[in-house]
């Protein structure tokens, strides 16, 4: 089956991600644009599988072998069936397997949707799509990214010297924080437009220090490098809150067309 308009979405989990994509398709694209499969594990586990196979993999075959549901979903498809393959995963730096060097390698491997696929990361995780109050506050919104439930499972390199460790460990989980800000089931077309605009502005602010629509394409690798230098390697590791799904839409349409879609003028 060949459809030059069809994309393959590789999602990290079977919970929130398919729901978010479905709502995005319904409200913004007004049609189904993707076949969705779930890897059902963190990005670091995907890296281990790719490394084990010497990175000589066909992602469609990897998914078919992953579970019966994927095998059934993809039974009529192969790699050539899709115009592009896109992977949506969490940065998820609190994972016991978290490794920034591996993230960098993954972004280098999954850097072309027509070849190995293109990897989008949500910072700190997929629930970032709900973590939005207004354009002004979103500009500087950050989230701790290496905090664990206990001292032993924290990935923060400075936990032994942190004076606020006790307070940090008592803070609410990011999923609960983001859930207080937005309900995906209530996201209309206008809400999606606002979220896409906000994340596009935030992307440009992170990389180019200007809170406005970017003038050109910004890669996921550039985003990660800026997250690393500006936030992750600081004494208290954080990330600028960014959702992968609005950035996919930005790249899908391109700068000029997305400005038309969002009614953003050339002067912002």
Taking alpha carbons only, the member of 27, 28, 25 closest to residue 6 is 25
Report the SS3 class of residue 74: coil
**One digit per residue, pLDDT tens: the chain, 268 residues?**
344 588 999 999 887 788 888 888 888 887 888 899 999 888 888 888 888 888 787 889 889 999 999 999 999 998 889 999 999 999 987 677 778 998 999 899 999 999 889 999 999 999 999 999 999 999 999 999 888 778 887 888 888 998 888 888 888 888 878 878 766 667 888 888 999 999 999 999 999 999 999 999 999 999 999 999 999 999 999 999 999 999 999 999 999 999 888 877 544 5
Does residue 267 form part of some domain?
Answer: no
Residue 23's domain comprises 3-262
Q: How many domains does the chain have?
A: 1
With contact defined as beta carbons under 8 Å apart, do 34 and 6 qualify?
yes
Q: Judge whether 30 lies within some domain.
A: yes
From residue 178, give the alpha-carbon distance in Å to each of 94, 123, 124, 182, 217. 17, 12, 11, 7, 28
Domain assignment present for 268? no
Tokens of 41: 């594990």
CA torsion through residues 75, 31, 197, 94, sign: negative
Positive or negative, the CA dihedral 8, 66, 112, 126 is positive
**What pLDDT, on the 0 to 100 scale, is given for residue 205?**
98
CB 229 within 8 A of CB 113: no
Using the Cα atoms of residue 214, residue 124, residue 195 and residue 244 in order, give the sign of their dihedral.
positive
Q: Judge whether 111 lies within some domain.
A: yes
Give the C-alpha separation, 27 to 20, whole Å.
11
> Residue ranges of the alpha helices (H) in the chain?
16-24, 43-52, 59-66, 68-73, 100-109, 135-138, 165-170, 174-179, 189-208, 220-227, 244-253, 255-262
Length of the chain: 268
Position 182 scores a pLDDT of: 66
The two counts, helices (H) then strands (E), for the chain are 12, 7
The reported pLDDT for the residue numbered 198 is 96
pLDDT of residue 199: 97
CB neighbours of 243 closer than 8 A, spacing ≥ 6?
122, 126, 128, 129, 195, 199
Tokens, residue 257:
């067309």
The pLDDT assigned to 266 comes to: 45
Whether 32 and 19 have beta carbons less than 8 Å apart is answered as no
Contact 173, 127 (CB under 8 A): no
- What's the rounded Cα separation, in Å, for the pair 254 and 231? 27
Question: According to the model, what pLDDT value does residue 135 have?
Answer: 95
The tokens describing 107, both together, are: 């972004």
The first and second tokens of residue 128, run together, are 């970032």
Supply the pLDDT for residue 267. Answer: 47
Angle at 242 between CA 240 and CA 245, to 5 degrees: 170
54 located within any domain = yes
Rounded to 5°, angle at Cα 119 from 115 and 122:
170
Task: Write phi, then psi, for 132 (nearest 5 degrees).
Answer: -150, 130
Look up the pTM and report it: 0.91
């Amino acid at each position: 089956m060949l459809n030059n308009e069809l994309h393959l979405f590789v999602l990290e989990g079977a919970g929130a991600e398919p729901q978010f994509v479905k709502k995005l398709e319904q409200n913004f694209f007004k049609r189904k644009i993707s076949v969705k499969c779930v890897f059902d594990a963190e990005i670091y586990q995907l890296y281990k599988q790719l490394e084990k196979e010497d990175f000589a993999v066909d992602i469609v075959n990897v998914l078919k072998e992953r579970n019966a549901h994927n095998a059934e979903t993809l039974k009529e498809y192969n790699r050539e069936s899709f115009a592009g393959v896109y992977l949506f995963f969490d940065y998820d730096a609190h994972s016991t397997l978290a490794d920034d060097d591996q993230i960098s390698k993954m972004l280098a491997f999954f850097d072309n949707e027509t070849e190995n696929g293109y990897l989008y990361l949500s910072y700190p995780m997929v629930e970032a799509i709900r973590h939005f109050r207004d354009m002004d506050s979103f500009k500087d919104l950050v989230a701790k990214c290496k905090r664990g439930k206990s001292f032993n499972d924290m990935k923060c390199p400075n936990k032994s010297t942190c004076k606020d460790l006790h307070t940090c460990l008592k803070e609410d989980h990011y999923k609960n924080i983001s859930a207080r800000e937005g309900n995906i089931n209530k996201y209309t077309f206008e809400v999606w437009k606002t979220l896409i605009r906000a994340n596009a502005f935030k992307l440009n602010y992170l990389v180019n220090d200007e809170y406005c629509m970017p003038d050109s394409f910004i890669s996921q690798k550039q985003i990660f490098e800026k997250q690393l230098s500006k936030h992750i390697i600081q004494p208290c590791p954080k990330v600028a809150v960014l959702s992968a799904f609005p950035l996919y839409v930005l790249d899908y349409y391109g700068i000029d067309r997305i400005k038309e879609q969002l009614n953003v003028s050339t002067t912002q």
